[in-house]
Each structure stands twice: as C-alpha cells, then as structure tokens.
Structure 1
Amino acid sequence: MKNLFERFGQLVPELHPRPTASEHHIPQAHEADEPEEPSYFEYFFDQPGAMPGTLSIEEDAPPPNIILIDYNADQAQRVHLEQPELITPYLDRESVSWIDVQGLGNEDILRRVGQVFGLHPIVLEDVVNVPQRPKVEDHQDQVLVITRMVTPKEDLKGFYAEQVSFILGKYYLLTVQEEPDRDCFGLVRQRIRTSRGLIRQHGADYLAYSLIDAIIDGFFPVLEDYGERIELLETQVVTHPTRQTLEEIHKVRRELLSLRRAIWPQRDAINALIRDSNDLISPEVRIYLRDCYDHAIQVLDMVETYRELAASLMDVYLSSVSNKMNEIMKLLTIISTVFIPLTFIVGVYGMNFNTEISPWNMPELNWRWGYPACWAVMLSIAGSLFYFFWRKGWFQDQSQVELD
C-alpha cells in the first residue's frame, strides 16, 4: 500500500496554493535582455476551484500609498496616511473624504483597508485582482465601480492602461489605482484645492462623477495620437510600403482593439449608474453622468472609425505591394518581349550548316555585309518594339500615387 501511494504521488503533481497573477499573466522571458511586449487583452481569471476572496498580488506591484483629501465648501486638506486605520475618523464626517490608494503591492495593507471600509471579500478581490472588466455593482450602502484608465506614453506610441476601482459611500469615495506615478486626476485635485467649479459644493457622488469623467476624457489625447499615426501610415502605405509599415499597422490595430475593449463595457457601466435607482447618486449628478455617457459614446465612435481606417490600410498596403509587383512583372515582360525576336535571329544563325555543300545553306553567311545587316535588323526590331510599348504607355509607373 505504501508503494502504491508513492507511485500515485509521482503521477499526480503536488497541490499548491492558488498561483499569483504573475504566474497567470506574465510569462517568463527566455532571455533577460529581451523586453516583454505589453498585453492589452488579458482579464484576470481565477484558478478553477480557488477559494473566493483570494487576493493575487503581482510581484512587481508598487507598495500602496494612501492619500486622503478631505474637503467641504469652506476648506480642504490633504493628508498622507501611514496606516489604513487612520481613515476611520474621516468616514463619519459630514465633509467629503477622498481616500486614494495608489499601488497594489502589499496584501496586508489592502486587507486592512477592506476591513476599515467593510468591503465584502468578493469586492476586495475585484479591486485587487486586476484587470477586471469595467462594471458597476451595488453592495448595500456602497457602490462598486471598476473602470479602465489610459494615459499616453512618452513617445506618443501606445498607451499605459490600468484599472481604477471606486467604492462610493455616503460621505466618502475610495479609489484604488494600480500605479502611483501616473493618472489623469490632476485637474480634479487642483479644483478641490483651489475651490474651482462646483466640486466642493457637492457630495461624494459628484466627486466620483468628476473622476470618471476625467478617465473618459483621458481617452481623447490617446486617440489623437492614433489619428496622427494613421495619417502617417497612410502616406507610407501609398508612397513606400515596407514590412515595417505592415508591422506598424498590425500593432495599431491590436492597440485600437484594446481601447475598444476598455471603453465598450465602460460605457455600459456609466449607463448603469444613470439608470439604477441608488440613493448614493443624486438626480443632479445623474444629469452630469449623462454628459459623461455622451463622451464615452464619442470615444467609442472614434475608436471604431480608427479601427476601420486601420483595416482599410491593410487592404491599401496589399494593393500597393501588388501594384509594385505588377510593375516589376511588366518590366520583365517588356524585356523578354524585346529579346524574343532577337533570340530567334541569333538562334537561326547559330545553326552550323555547311554553305559549301548546298547554295541554300545560309548563303547570307558569305555576304560581305552580312554581319552588319544582321545587327541592323535586330536593332530595328528592338527599336520598333520599344517605340510601340512607349506609345501604349507601358513605361509609365502606375503604382505611384500623388498625394495632396
């Protein structure tokens, strides 16, 4: 029996705890010097049979920073909190408390944050295990909103994408970001600090709207960069298509598909905030959310337009390559056509018939001007063919297109 269990242990792999997100999503590079291509298409998934509420922290996730901005109509303060428990006194105040957790690199701190806000383990799992599909969920006296935020890269080729989660309460708003270094909330913080606009005269629901609106508006600079890239690719495809052009078109199409996957469910999530009858969102804020919904529709329309343009660029690239191939084949055909009669003449006079045996055996070989006459005939034939092709316009390059 002991040997049987030993053999069974060799066949069945040892059961391990639930793997981390790095084991799920980040394949190890074969060589350390090869940069890893970012993936724009992954959603987080649980290992079959994993315990609900299990948190999966990526190894390279930055440690969380907790920033508290507490404000009302008269004043505003910004505090950096070292411990999550220091948030508790601010949750029951009449003022609005914005708790911004930047980074997901410490499971203990994230669980303590969940305890302070009374988050359900499933809610905390959705917040921490990224990326999730954008959505809206009601949880008693809280509303969970998961969004995708994009920011343009420094070289204006591509974008950074990260998940931003919102937990909306009556007097507070908890936001959880993946990265502490970049977001699109700078203008919102400035409005709170300088008391510009209506943000300090409203509650936490208006703050949530302002941040979601900033996320949606953050898509426009990214799409502007893609518009410029597509215009440049159009010029390259028509004038000088190369393999690098094809690779760039393919890359743009993939990234635009990722943007579509980010904005499409986000539009539905904003629509859910508008239509759901939740007391945490006032009717006035729902009107503002309608404007945010319109912006999401505009972003989606731009993404779809650019995707169609990128798809048409692929067709134009194939047509351009085909046209250039046709030009090459046309040139080779002209050369072959010119040399066919010349080859025939040379082949005829390459036959070794003895002229002394019969007077019909190539008598022109004994002519005094036979060789120059042969050259004159061949040159006249070649010249006539070239003139004929020129009159037909076959020497013009039909693959070149003049751009306005």
Structure 2
Amino acid sequence: MARKPFHFFRAEPPANVEIPPEEDDDDNYLDYFYDEQGTLPGTLTIEADAPIPDIILIEYDKDRAVRLNLDSPEAFIPYLETPTVSWIDVQGLGDENVLQRLGRVFGLHPIVLEDIVNVPQRPKVEDHDHQLLLITRMVTPKEDGRGFYTEQVSLVLGKSYLLTVQEEPTRDCFDLVRQRIRTNRGTIRQNGCDYLLYALIDAIIDGFFPVLEDYGERIELLEDEVVANPSRETLEEVHQIRRELLALRRAIWPQRDALNAMIRDRSELLSDDVQIYLRDCYDHAIQVLDMVETYRELAASLMDVYLSSVGNKMNEIMKLLTIISTIFIPLTFIVGVYGMNFNPEASPLNMPELNWYWGYPACWAVMIGISAFLFGYFWRQGWFKNFSSVDD
C-alpha cells in the first residue's frame, strides 16, 4: 500500500450515516450495558444508529510519521510486526462484519471484542495474552457549556501497536496527541506504544477538567439564585446538575481503580518509565474525583438552601398577612359593634353615640389611631424587615 503524507485532520462520518441527535446522550448518562437473558458469550449488539467504522492508521517513529485511511481491517496486517509504532483508530461501531474481522486481525478474544462493541461497559483493565485491554469513559463539554458528551473508548495495547475503538467519529480529546505526533513535539515519537497509551489516557483524564470548570461556574450562579430568587426552574437545574455529577462520578471512579490496577499489577507491555507517567495520571484521576465529590456536596447543599429559601419566602408572606390581619382585627370589632341593630330611642344606653354630632368622624379617628399605633409597634419590633433576602 502506498503511503500518503501525514495530514492531521478530524475524520468525518460517511455521508450515508445518520448521526443520532446529540440531545439523546443525556438519556444514557447513567446506563451500563447488560446482556439479555440467555445471550451467548461473545455476542455483539450493534445499535441501529451507530456510525459505520472509519479506520485510521497513524504510523510513526522518531524520523517520520504517516497517516493512512484503511479500507479494511486486513490492510493493517503488514504493520503488526513492524518496528515502528502503529496506532490504529477505529471510529464507529456500526458494522458487525468489520468488527468481527478486526477481532480476527488482532487476535481478540470474543469476550474482549464483546466488551469493546457492547457499550457502555464499566471502565476496567484486563491483561490478556500479549495484550492489555483498557476500557475508559471519555467526556467532552457541550458547546453551550451546559452538560457534556460521553462515550466509551477501548484501548488494546500490543507489542508494536495500539488499537483504539471509539463510539463516535465526530469528537474526541486526542487532537493534541495527534498534533504532537505530527509536529514531533515532546518525546512521544521517541518512545513506544506504551507511551502512546499513557498519552491517550492522560488526554482522557484531563478532558474531565474543562467539564468540571463549567459545573463550578453553574453552581456558583445557582448559589446566588437559590438565595435571592428561588423558582421551579432553579430546582430543575439543581436536580439536573446532581444527576450529571453522578454520571461523572460513575465514569471517573472505576477509571481510577483501573489505573491503580495497571500500576499495581505490572504488565510486561508497560516499561518502568511509563509506570511513572501512569502514576501521574492516577494523581490526576484522584484530583478529578475530589472535584466531582466536592461539587456533588455543593449541589446537595443547594437543594437544602433552596428548600430553606422557599420556606423563608413563605414565612415572609405569612408574616405580611399576619400584620394586615392583626391591624384589621380591632377595626373589624369596632365596625361590628356599630353594625348591631339597637334602637337608641328605646333606651338611653342603646348606642347613644349614634346621635352624636361628631360620632362618625370620632369612629374614624379611633380606628386610624389604633391602626397607626399597631403599625408603629410592629415597626419597632422589626416585623417589616425581610429576613429571606441577602444583599449582593
């Protein structure tokens, strides 16, 4: 096969493939794949809307780097035993025949191929014969900064190759790694496949930080909103953030355990230098997990603050109604008394003030005086202060 110059660009999905609406990703935040009852081991479950696989090969050493679009998995066979580093990136899971052939080319166990294709799986690491399988969750922030996209990335490390399988061909967080290979920046082209594995893992872990920064800003805005002006929309936003943070926790927690297993159970495919770099990835995973737990606690406290704010708002309303009712109680008593049908001509004791010349103005003066007295008394007691609002 003739080699083409290495051009760095994002692969576009085939024109005849319909990419599912991105809004549907929200519904899969908390899902894990499970086999139907009675399914044979190694059965591949292909989703109807999964993109057709696009197979990209990046081959490099310290002197050169080339990028090839492969028409079939078998086209990679000549590169299996080459001394160069071969990174084959499969983007899309929409063709069972191609995936089965891919498994035969790389000698993947049917259970391994099942874990790669039947998504989403729980992140994990498995050491097979001359191969190291790592399943991870990759997140990328949405364009509007509200939420994230998530997909499974499977990495299979061999002696001279690294196989990566992604769900979607339209987005990932590997652009900087590809750029480092193309421009020979850093030491990535001076190292082997295990260093490339570390670089991709590091990119996946670091991809959590922009997402968490968006959640930090959203939580900060919600803290002011739940105190100053809590509403139904505020409650829905808090609930959505708690749900998404739970999905992030489910993604990063098992990845931390997988990295720990890679460091603890030394594989013959990982050099000592790469083991040190993996420890740095593990530290980043711990940092991400700490941030996720912190934001989850803040989101939980926002729910309590929201309930308290709504309760305080209701108390202010009840206090205002109580003040109005208290002022009108004596006034109602007075007009109720003078609304009785006593005949003043029958007895001099039957409401003689009804015949006074200044009786009506005097009644008004007494009612206004009582109202003013109660209003002033409540004012001095501080009943008119709003205790539910906070100054900016």
Query: What's the TM-score once normalised by structure 1's chain length?
Result: 0.90
Q: Select which of 284, 297, 310 maps to 1:295.
A: 284
Distance 1:272 1:308 in 2: 28
Q: Which ranges of structure 1 fall in alignment gaps of 5 or more residues?
A: 1-31
Encode CA deviations 1:85-123: one digit per residue, 9 max, x unaligned.
000000101111000000001110011100100100000
Question: CA separation of 1:220/1:90 partners in 2, compared to 1, >3 Å: closer, same or farther?
Answer: same
Distance 1:204 1:136 in 2: 17
Partners of 2:51 and 2:94 within 8 A in 1? yes
- 1:70 paired to 2:85: no
Distance 1:235 1:80 in 2: 51
The correspondence of residues 317-396 of structure 1 with structure 2, limited to 5 A, is 317-396=306-385
- 1:244 paired to 2:233: yes
Residue aligned with 2:57, SS: strand
Q: Select which of 153, 164, 168 maps to 1:164.
A: 153
- 1:275 paired to 2:264: yes
Deviates more, 1:242-251 or 1:359-368: 359-368
Match of 1:7 in 2: none
Question: Aligned AA for 1:123?
Answer: V
Q: Select which of 113, 116, 120 maps to 2:105.
A: 116
Match of 2:4 in 1: none
Match of 1:231 in 2: 220
Bigger RCO (CA 8 Å, 6+ sep) = 2
Partners of 2:160 and 2:193 within 8 A in 1? yes
Distance 1:76 1:330 in 2: 75
Residue aligned with 1:38, SS: helix
Question: CA separation of 1:313/1:296 partners in 2, compared to 1, >3 Å: closer, same or farther?
Answer: same
Match of 1:183 in 2: 172
Shift of 1:37: 4.8
Q: Select which of 91, 115, 130 maps to 1:126.
A: 115
Distance 2:82 2:368 in 1: 101
Question: Aligned AA for 1:212?
Answer: I
Query: What's the TM-score once normalised by structure 2's chain length?
Result: 0.93
Match of 2:94 in 1: 105
Residue aligned with 2:256, SS: helix
Shift of 1:219: 0.2
Question: Aligned AA for 2:82?
Answer: R
- 1:54 paired to 2:43: yes
Shift of 1:185: 0.3
Match of 1:217 in 2: 206
Residue aligned with 1:191, SS: helix
Partners of 2:327 and 2:374 within 8 A in 1? yes
Encode CA deviations 1:333-382: one digit per residue, 9 max, x unaligned.
00000000000001111100111111111111111111111111001000
Residue aligned with 2:49, SS: coil
Residue aligned with 1:104, SS: coil
Question: CA separation of 1:85/1:228 partners in 2, compared to 1, >3 Å: closer, same or farther?
Answer: same
Distance 1:35 1:71 in 2: 37
Partners of 2:90 and 2:166 within 8 A in 1? yes
Shift of 1:36: 8.2
Distance 1:53 1:251 in 2: 36
Shift of 1:238: 1.3
Question: Aligned AA for 2:211?
Answer: V
Distance 2:368 2:200 in 1: 80
Question: Aligned AA for 2:63?
Answer: D
Distance 1:277 1:140 in 2: 14
Q: Select which of 136, 145, 149 maps to 1:147.
A: 136
Distance 1:355 1:235 in 2: 64
Residue aligned with 1:184, SS: coil
Shift of 1:127: 0.1
Q: Which ranges of structure 2 fall in alignment gaps of 5 or more residues?
A: 1-20
Match of 2:303 in 1: 314
Match of 2:18 in 1: none
Residue aligned with 1:285, SS: helix
Distance 1:204 1:319 in 2: 55
Question: Aligned AA for 2:93?
Answer: L
Encode CA deviations 1:232-286: one digit per residue, 9 max, x unaligned.
1111111111110000000000000000000000000011111112110111100
Distance 2:110 2:26 in 1: 32
| Identity %, equivalent residues | 74
Partners of 2:25 and 2:150 within 8 A in 1? no
Partners of 2:91 and 2:165 within 8 A in 1? yes
Distance 2:211 2:152 in 1: 16
Question: CA separation of 1:36/1:255 partners in 2, compared to 1, >3 Å: closer, same or farther?
Answer: closer
Question: Aligned AA for 1:66?
Answer: I
Residue aligned with 1:94, SS: coil
Residue aligned with 2:28, SS: coil
Distance 1:331 1:35 in 2: 47
Distance 1:168 1:211 in 2: 12
Question: Aligned AA for 2:75?
Answer: L
Deviates more, 1:36-45 or 1:92-101: 36-45
Residue aligned with 2:27, SS: coil
